[in-house]
C-alpha cells in the first residue's frame, strides 16, 4: 500500500528539510510513499500519515494553524477520531500540550496532557542547541533500542508530561525532560529527526511503516 504523507505547512515549520528526510527514508527503505507539503485541509483527509513540524514560538505556531480555515478540525478528525499516524516535531510536539507558558499563557491542542515550560537557565545556555542523548523509558514502535540515541535539539522550552505512560524518552539539559512522547497513534519528538543523521532517519522510517 502506498503511503501518503502530509507535512502541514502553517508558515513556521522547517518544511523543506522535513520533506527531504521523509523522501530519503522512503527511498532508502523501498517504501512507496508520496510526500506532500500542504496547507490544504482537504489533503489531510487524503493522507495516511500526518506530520506537524515546528519552528519559532508556541503562540505564533498555534496562530498559524488557526489561520488556516478548517485545518485544526480536519487534524482532529483524522488524528483523534480516524487514528491516523501523527508525528509532531519540536514545536509541533509542544502544540500537543494543553497549555504553554512561553511569553504568556496559551492554549494548545490538548491531545497529550501536559504543559510547556521554560528550561531553567541556571548554569546552562539557552537555547538548548546541539546533540544530546535520549534515554528510552518506555518501549515504542518508532525507536529501535539498538541504534544510537543521540539526536539534534534546538529549543528553550520543554514538555512537562502529566502521565509517565506518555513519556517514551527523556533527555537531560539542566533538568530531565520528556523529549519523546506518545499516545496511541500520536507521537511527538522534541528533537529534530530530519537533522539527526541515520538515527533520525530510522525514526522516520519506522513512522512510515506504521
Residues with catalytic roles: 90, 192, 194
Measured CA distances, 48 to 55, 110, 126, 186, 195 (Å): 24, 22, 36, 13, 23
Q: How far apart are CA 9 and CA 6, in angstroms?
A: 9
Q: How far apart are CA 29 and CA 43, in angstroms?
A: 25
To 10 degrees, the CA torsion angle through 24, 27, 29, 35?
70
Q: How far apart are CA 133 and CA 79, in angstroms?
A: 29
Amino acid at each position: 500500500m502506498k503511503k501518503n504523507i502530509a507535512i502541514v505547512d502553517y508558515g513556521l515549520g522547517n518544511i523543506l528539510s522535513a520533506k527531504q528526510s521523509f523522501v530519503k527514508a522512503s527511498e532508502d527503505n523501498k517504501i512507496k510513499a508520496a510526500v506532500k507539503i500542504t496547507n490544504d485541509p482537504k489533503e489531510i483527509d487524503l493522507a495516511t500519515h500526518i506530520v506537524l513540524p515546528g519552528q519559532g514560538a508556541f503562540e505564533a505556531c498555534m496562530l498559524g494553524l488557526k489561520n488556516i480555515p478548517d485545518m485544526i478540525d480536519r487534524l482532529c478528525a483524522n488524528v483523534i477520531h480516524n487514528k491516523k499516524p501523527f508525528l509532531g516535531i519540536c514545536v509541533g510536539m509542544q502544540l500537543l500540550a494543553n497549555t504553554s507558558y512561553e511569553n504568556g499563557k496559551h492554549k494548545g491542542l490538548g491531545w497529550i496532557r501536559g504543559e510547556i515550560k521554560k528550561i531553567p537557565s541556571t548554569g546552562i545556555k539557552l537555547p538548548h542547541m546541539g546533540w544530546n542523548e535520549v534515554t528510552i523509558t518506555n518501549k515504542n514502535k518508532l525507536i529501535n533500542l539498538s541504534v544510537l540515541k543521540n539526536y539534534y535539539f534546538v529549543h528553550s522550552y520543554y514538555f512537562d508530561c502529566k502521565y509517565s505512560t506518555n513519556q517514551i524518552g527523556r533527555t537531560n539539559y539542566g533538568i530531565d525532560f520528556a523529549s519523546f512522547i506518545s499516545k496511541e497513534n500520536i507521537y511527538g519528538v522534541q528533537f529534530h529527526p530530519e537533522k539527526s543523521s541515520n538515527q533520525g532517519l530510522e525514526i522516520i522510517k519506522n513512522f512510515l511503516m506504521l
